[in-house]
Amino acid sequence: MLTHMDDVEESERRFGHIWALRQLLGAAAGAREIGLSRWRIEAEGRVCSPAHVHFDEEEIFYVLDGTGFAQAGRRAYAISAGDAVVFPAGGRPHTVFGGPIELLAFASGSSTRLTYLPRSKTMWAGPTWLPLDGGHPFDAEAELGPLELGEVVDPADERPSWIVGLTEVEAMPIAHGDRDEVRTDLGSAAGSRLSGLRHIAIAPDAEGAPPHCHTAEEELFVVLDGDGTLRLGDQEHPVRAGSIVARPAGTGVAHSFRAGGQGLTLLAYGQRDPRDAVFFPRSSTLRMAGLGGLTFRVEPVDPRGGAL
């Protein structure tokens, strides 16, 4: 459930103007439902994917470096390092133009794996595509020629609600006991619904959120800067810039982070599921998502009756 960007193979996606380098970081870290890819688009005019619509999957992109354009429908908006972009399930056809630009693409997971490409009037469904007797949808897109960049909107004139910059969102400092961190809720600020993305900066030698585990929500963490320790139950693992941590739902193993002497900065991505319950073993408390986050103190009992 722990890997590093340097240890994940990079592959090339090349279909005409669809030309980018990709690392499947989520799968490499052991994620079961949610996805995470690192994309590098190295030249202007190239895209990482055709303009497309996911039927039931939400995507959140976070720009690590460089500049490019996020396009939704017929309009394109400049994006740069520190920007978060939300593409909702069933929304307008979207893609990202380089570049050069380097970004992380988080995906909430899909039960249908259906994606529509309106330009070529094709679809893919998991490992196959429609029409069944047709070629690969990306080949069909390439045959249509380069995708044109839409109407570029000056950020000074319009900054859409689904794009937010790290410095534009109010940060929330949390400090008590050993915990000392600053959280910035990028996903909510950009209108995400099926998933969330937070930027978290943990102070040197301090803890982040207390150890906890989820019953229904899977989480992914990307270390952006600094170093520290990942605690899984009673085990400790060193992490540093580039570390990727996957925490599937229902493991019963609590996780937490502690920063090293230089601090620890990371992105925390997770699903939003009203069925989720979060257990905090230190305080023996249980938080219920479907009850508005109402938290209860619990006492483990023997199923045959009586306290343990």
Asked if residues 196 and 272 have their Cβ atoms less than 8 Å apart, the reply is yes
Q: pLDDT tens digits, residue range 46-93?
A: 999 999 999 999 999 999 999 999 999 999 999 999 999 999 999 999
**Spans in the chain with pLDDT lower than 50:** none
Residue 307 lies in a domain: no
Residue 308 lies in a domain: no
Query: Taken in order 115, 274, 27, 65, is the CA torsion positive or negative?
Result: positive
Domain match, 170 and 262 both: yes
Asked if residues 266 and 221 have their Cβ atoms less than 8 Å apart, the reply is yes
Mean of all residue pLDDT scores within the chain: 95
- Domain hosting 195: range is 166-297
Q: pLDDT tens digits, residue range 117-156?
A: 999 999 988 888 888 888 899 999 999 999 999 999 987 7
Residue 134 lies in a domain: yes
Query: Residue 248 is part of a domain; what is its CATH number?
Result: 2.60.120.10
Domain match, 224 and 83 both: no
pLDDT at 306: 59
The model's pTM is 0.95
Residue 82 lies in a domain: yes
Domain match, 120 and 83 both: yes
The two three-digit tokens of residue 60, written as one number: 């959140």
Domain match, 200 and 139 both: no
| Planar angle of CA 287, 282, 2, nearest 5 degrees | 85
pLDDT at 300: 81
Which DSSP symbol is given to 303?
Answer: T
Residue 38 lies in a domain: yes
